[in-house]
Structure 1
Amino acid sequence: MDPNSVRNLKVPTSTEPSAVCSENESVQQLWKLYAEVWDEEMRNDPLSATMIGDYRWNAYLQDLSFEAYKEHYEALKRFHQQLIQSNIVSSLPETEKDNYEFLKEMLRISIRRLETFDRYEVPTTHIFGPPVMLPMAGNFHPWRNKEDADSFLARLEAFPKQVTQIIEAFRCGIQTGYTLPIESVQALISICKAQGEKEVAKSPFFESAATRFEKLGQSMETLENVIEKSVLPAYKLLEDFLQNEYSPHARRTAGIVDWKDSKTIYEGAIEYYTSLSFTAQELHSIGKKEVKRISEEIHQVRERLQQAQGSLASFIAQLRQNPQLFAKDSQDIIETYKNILDKIGTKVSDYFAKLPKAGLEVKPIESYREKSAPPAHYYPAPKDRSRPAVFYANTSEPTTRPLYAMKAVALHEGIPGHHLQVAIAQELDNLPRIRKEVQGFCIGYVEGWGLYAEYLGNVMNIYENDYDLLGRLLAEIWRACRLVVDTGLHSLGWTREECVRYMRENAGITEVDIQVEVDRYMVMPGQALAYKVGEMKIIQLLQKVQDKLKEKFSWPLFHDCLLSSGAVPLSMLERNVEKFLSNQA
């Protein structure tokens, strides 16, 4: 392994800041293992570590070599075996049983993830990976002193090495048949071309860091040189490789059905992202039923709007003829989201017992990645709260962005969606650090919560008219369509054109977003399943609690139950609600 790899950087094993003061040796052992797992996860992804406020690896990028991939996999297996063989569960107090079960499940499913869909041969996509994430590094980097400036430069200087590792992994994929679809490759080429050909002063690496360097009295010339001599040529190198060597071998099937062991791979993705036991066919059928149900609700809204004739696609086309229903410009989008979030903020305390201390800032998605980005997404604040959380809004092609959809998006990505869920978890004192940050195998809960927050907009009276309600229903049917399309792609062999057509006929989102969405599903098998599966489970639990408690039901207490354990697998969430009900009896 490269001696300069982050995996060879020796740092003292950290301790859990909120570790309980317990004389119970089993508790001490559990929390010590949590600390070791935390260090392994942070070491394995230094850029994400910086984003969430662990600054020990600020000068590094992820080692994407096969040796590092294998070492990480072996480390997870070692931790899992260590936990199971410790036999500590029998001597843990009840208050620590959830921590034990969470860690056991996290390690088990993370190992399966690496054995199935999270492949070494696919080190990046056009949605997520180093070429997409590195330009954001300056926004999340700490800027306290000269050492922080030096570590930022070192991180940029590490990018050429990382690009050679990406190329090596892609070459392995050519040999083994695990390749990206051509659409993703073309999008990656565009991303690399846009970065590699930028003037230094107009690159996001310079724009995000220049004023910070100046304030710290550091050399602007050094920053410019590193960008010019290391970063931009690395993007050009990757662009040339993708264009000339990789593109001819990129897969022409939209889904992974032609991958070796694709059925097992997709089963791993389903389990990881939903944290429940479903077959692809079951999810496909559930998706179709949900699309039918929501379509009927949309028809009722259309009747009230006196626009019930014709298909959903023709109705959406009619709406697009009314400029008053769409944003005027980029600033209009930002201001609309700010106003919506302010209004939600006046009502949220009636439904939630706890609100986070972390602030929330609305910002436009950077121009270099906006074309392949969703309408909006959320980035949490770091643990030291040195910056607020960010609600990123897509302001590209603003006149195609419907104003009637923005309340549902604000509820999902902002309040009471991801911001409340993530920021509250970060501020819980009784959880190990791993549980305070979102883990991938809990995405069913996380994205289910976001979609549930859209549903909650009805209860909170956020939707003020039929157009607002239409926006929510279109957002929900879009997520239901994901169940159909994701399983269609990766299990049933649907083509990209079939997926686009199904979305166009049923989802009610813009043509631009349909193209972006389908290309996303193609490179992230299973991830799109999490939203509707999680929302349906949370609403099922809500109805169960309301039926049982009747007039004793309390929104703040129910939501406290859902949020007080951080993000968890849906099976664990169900157990938490059962405990809540037994305590309320």
Structure 2
Amino acid sequence: MTQRYTSASADELTKIGDEFFDATMVSDPLGATMFGIPGYDHLVPDPSARSDEARISGLEGLERRLDKITGLTPADELSAKVLRRLISSSAGELRHGLMDVAVSGGLIAPQTQVFRTVPMSVLGDDRSGRAYLDRLRGLEFYFDGWSERYRIAVAAGRLPTRRGVRQAVEQLDTYLSSSPTDDVLVRPAAGHAEHSQAEALITDIVRPAVGRLRARLAEAMTAAREDDKPGICHVPGGPEGYAEAVTRHTTTTLSPEEVHRIGLDAVERLRQEFADIGGPALGTTSVPEILEKLRTSRELRFSTSEEILRFADGALVRANGVLPGWFFRYDIGACETREIGPLEAKTSPLAYYQPPAEDGSRPGVHWVSTVDPHSRFRYEYEALTFHESVPGHHFQIGLAQTLDHLPRFRRVAVGNLTAHVEGWGLYAERLADEMGLYSSPIQRLGMVSFDALRACRLVVDTGMHHLGWTRGQAIAYMRENTATTEANIANEVDRYISWPGQALAYFVGRREIHRLRDLAKAELGKAFDIKQFHHQVIGHGSLPLDVLGDVIRTWIADRRRA
């Protein structure tokens, strides 16, 4: 029987996709600014429970409409699968409300998102100027909304961690102690007509609201959880919320127990790789000795912040030079290396990626932590660069933005498809080794150490949030199995505490990409082409892992018929 495809079905799918995208941007306009998506720069998120309830209701309505659609082409059916997962994941995240207890000074914290994203605003005309001022006015509502949300959570026994609260208070104190004239939120207005008005809004409205949030968090300190109970399993509704977070962030059906075991097995395998590379690189095959040398050797550290930036830029240049042997030629914008600002540097990861603006007005940025360069290790920054820029996130996300034949929700990583995005970033670290990009055996040990870091995440994230590990147990496990510094281990563990399940996406996603590559090589033999495989993995926008599997299996079948 021949399948009938209808234009009405395709039109309805397009409408649902557009409505989902717009609703997502309205609920996360700071994310829209980070992605350079115009039209939302005047908004701030609504942190109220009422807003969450309305958003869930809207998502359920979209899901019901999506379920009624029939008669789609294979290409549209692929979009429908992605959209269905995005809608379901967004609703699941809102239902469990884990952000209520995720108080921290890290990337996911509400105040960090403001301090990091609002300064990205670009003022170029009257409209953008008005949008910027409207957002500044809205920040009073935003910060007061989070103050109230935290109050309700604590009253219900949903307690944050004391350490996370302390970090958030310290970050807010740092902000409030800065000069109003040099406020990070006023910087976009420098040299523009809105400058004086922006300073007045920040002084009269924004800073007092930040002060009220700081006071609310200080009150929460007395009842907060200690380091012996960092996991969400110690919070009412936490076990159910964590199970949903594992599914959402990995886009798999893996249970926390299965993820934990995958991590334990991977860490054990990587210890052998440490020994194999450590022999010629450091003259020892003892894993504890290798890790200690990497962690304590002074000659492996940087001297200046400028040196870190030059090092990362050099790795990026080398990567761009060998791309033609591994990828098709794509028209992707530039990627720049920049320093993470001092306000977020204390609790930030070593690096992160900011996508290019959708309209091309802003390049992709590989943000790098350069604070206290004498504590930063050379062997970590090549793998970081390949992960965050090329051939990692910049290559994948920058390419997705150019795929004009796809609906917008597939061109922009607007939802919970972390396993594909971060799985590709981690895959890029290992691919860089195949591409000959690491400059020395020591740098290859850095690659292995980062692999171990991501494998450890499976163990300690599930350990704390599912098995009830203490913060000290998590830190000790990572110290025993990675070469990263004590300070970075602490930052990493605190990040997992405040963002349950997210850290699982990296290794789980990379594991699936490698499994699919092995499958394709076995099925296609000499017909396997690495450029074509890479295009299939990143040439369809961000995908749930099960949908990525469908894409690769369809490609394999098509190649075998050719």
Classify the TM-score, shorter chain: over 0.9
Deviating above 6 A after TM superposition, structure 1's stretches of 4 or more consecutive aligned residues are none
Give the 3-state SS of the residue equivalent to 2:352 in structure 1.
Answer: strand
Establish whether residue 232 from structure 1 lines up as the match of residue 215 from structure 2. Answer: no
The one-character-per-residue Cα deviations of 1:55-79 (angstroms, maximum 9, x if unpaired) are 3232221111221111111111111
Counterpart of 1:373 in structure 2 is: 348
Instruction: Return the alpha-carbon distance in structure 2 between the equivalents of residues 37 and 320 of structure 1.
Output: 46
Instruction: Return the alpha-carbon distance in structure 2 between the equivalents of residues 199 and 539 of structure 1.
Output: 50
Q: What amino acid is the match of 1:116? A: H
1:216-255 to 2 correspondences below 5 Å = 218-243=193-218, 245-252=219-226, 253-255=229-231
Q: What amino acid is the match of 1:278? A: L
Give the 3-state SS of the residue equivalent to 1:254 in structure 2.
Answer: coil
The one-character-per-residue Cα deviations of 1:132-179 (angstroms, maximum 9, x if unpaired) are 122234443232212212221221122122111111100111122222
Which of the numbers 152, 165, 169 marks the counterpart of 1:189? 169
- Against the structure 1 CA distance between its residues 24 and 220, is the aligned structure 2 distance closer, same or farther, given a 3 Å change threshold? closer
1:199-348 to 2 correspondences below 5 Å = 199-211=179-191, 213=192, 218-243=193-218, 245-252=219-226, 253-308=229-284, 311-312=287-288, 314-348=289-323
- 1:337 shift after superposition: 0.6
Q: What amino acid is the match of 2:255? A: T
Establish whether residue 547 from structure 1 lines up as the match of residue 522 from structure 2. Answer: yes
Q: How many residues align?
A: 554
Establish whether residue 494 from structure 1 lines up as the match of residue 469 from structure 2. Answer: yes
Counterpart of 2:149 in structure 1 is: 169
In structure 1, the gaps of 5 or more residues are: 1-21
CA contact (8 A) 1:255 1:494 kept: yes
Q: What amino acid is the match of 1:279? A: S
Normalised TM-score (structure 1): 0.91
Instruction: Return the alpha-carbon distance in structure 2 between the equivalents of residues 553 and 233 of structure 1.
Output: 61
- 1:420 shift after superposition: 0.7
The one-character-per-residue Cα deviations of 1:449-468 (angstroms, maximum 9, x if unpaired) are 00000010121011232101
- 1:323 shift after superposition: 3.4
Q: What amino acid is the match of 2:244? A: G
Give the 3-state SS of the residue equivalent to 1:390 in structure 2.
Answer: strand
Normalised TM-score (structure 2): 0.95
Instruction: Return the alpha-carbon distance in structure 1 between the equivalents of residues 256 and 462 of structure 2.
Output: 6
Instruction: Return the alpha-carbon distance in structure 1 between the equivalents of residues 318 and 102 of structure 2.
Output: 43
Instruction: Return the alpha-carbon distance in structure 2 between the equivalents of residues 473 and 123 of structure 1.
Output: 31
- 1:563 shift after superposition: 1.1
- 1:94 shift after superposition: 2.0
Q: What amino acid is the match of 1:53? A: G
Q: What amino acid is the match of 2:259? A: L
Counterpart of 1:534 in structure 2 is: 509
- Against the structure 1 CA distance between its residues 516 and 367, is the aligned structure 2 distance closer, same or farther, given a 3 Å change threshold? same
Instruction: Return the alpha-carbon distance in structure 2 between the equivalents of residues 311 and 209 of structure 1.
Output: 52
- Against the structure 1 CA distance between its residues 370 and 240, is the aligned structure 2 distance closer, same or farther, given a 3 Å change threshold? same
Instruction: Return the alpha-carbon distance in structure 2 between the equivalents of residues 302 and 145 of structure 1.
Output: 57
CA contact (8 A) 1:354 1:560 kept: no
- Against the structure 1 CA distance between its residues 117 and 507, is the aligned structure 2 distance closer, same or farther, given a 3 Å change threshold? farther
Instruction: Return the alpha-carbon distance in structure 2 between the equivalents of residues 130 and 525 of structure 1.
Output: 16
Instruction: Return the alpha-carbon distance in structure 2 between the equivalents of residues 572 and 309 of structure 1.
Output: 41
- Against the structure 1 CA distance between its residues 496 and 429, is the aligned structure 2 distance closer, same or farther, given a 3 Å change threshold? same
Counterpart of 2:432 in structure 1 is: 457
CA contact (8 A) 1:138 1:209 kept: no
Instruction: Return the alpha-carbon distance in structure 2 between the equivalents of residues 285 and 182 of structure 1.
Output: 30
Instruction: Return the alpha-carbon distance in structure 2 between the equivalents of residues 135 and 319 of structure 1.
Output: 34
Counterpart of 1:134 in structure 2 is: 114
Give the 3-state SS of the residue equivalent to 2:343 in structure 1.
Answer: coil
Give the 3-state SS of the residue equivalent to 1:163 in structure 2.
Answer: helix
1:515-534 to 2 correspondences below 5 Å = 515-534=490-509
Establish whether residue 394 from structure 1 lines up as the match of residue 369 from structure 2. Answer: yes
- Against the structure 1 CA distance between its residues 373 and 402, is the aligned structure 2 distance closer, same or farther, given a 3 Å change threshold? same
- Higher alpha-carbon deviation: 49-58 or 563-572: 49-58
The one-character-per-residue Cα deviations of 1:453-511 (angstroms, maximum 9, x if unpaired) are 00101210112321011010001001000000001001110000111111111121101
- 1:317 shift after superposition: 3.6
Instruction: Give % identity.
Output: 28
Which of the numbers 381, 387, 403 marks the counterpart of 1:428? 403
- Against the structure 1 CA distance between its residues 123 and 256, is the aligned structure 2 distance closer, same or farther, given a 3 Å change threshold? closer
Instruction: Return the alpha-carbon distance in structure 2 between the equivalents of residues 225 and 117 of structure 1.
Output: 34
Q: What amino acid is the match of 2:252? A: L
- Higher alpha-carbon deviation: 540-549 or 507-516: 540-549
- 1:117 shift after superposition: 5.1
The one-character-per-residue Cα deviations of 1:329-365 (angstroms, maximum 9, x if unpaired) are 1111111111110111000121111424221111000
Q: What amino acid is the match of 1:251? A: R
CA contact (8 A) 1:66 1:120 kept: no
Q: Which has the higher contact order (CA 8 A, sep 6+)?
A: 2
CA contact (8 A) 2:102 2:109 kept: no
Which of the numbers 106, 125, 132 marks the counterpart of 1:145? 125
Give the 3-state SS of the residue equivalent to 2:367 in structure 1.
Answer: strand
Q: What amino acid is the match of 1:114? A: L
Establish whether residue 156 from structure 1 lines up as the match of residue 136 from structure 2. Answer: yes
Which of the numbers 9, 13, 34 marks the counterpart of 1:51? 34
Which of the numbers 87, 100, 124 marks the counterpart of 2:80? 100
Q: What amino acid is the match of 1:280? A: P
Counterpart of 1:109 in structure 2 is: 89
Which of the numbers 30, 39, 49 marks the counterpart of 2:22? 39
Q: What amino acid is the match of 2:36? A: G
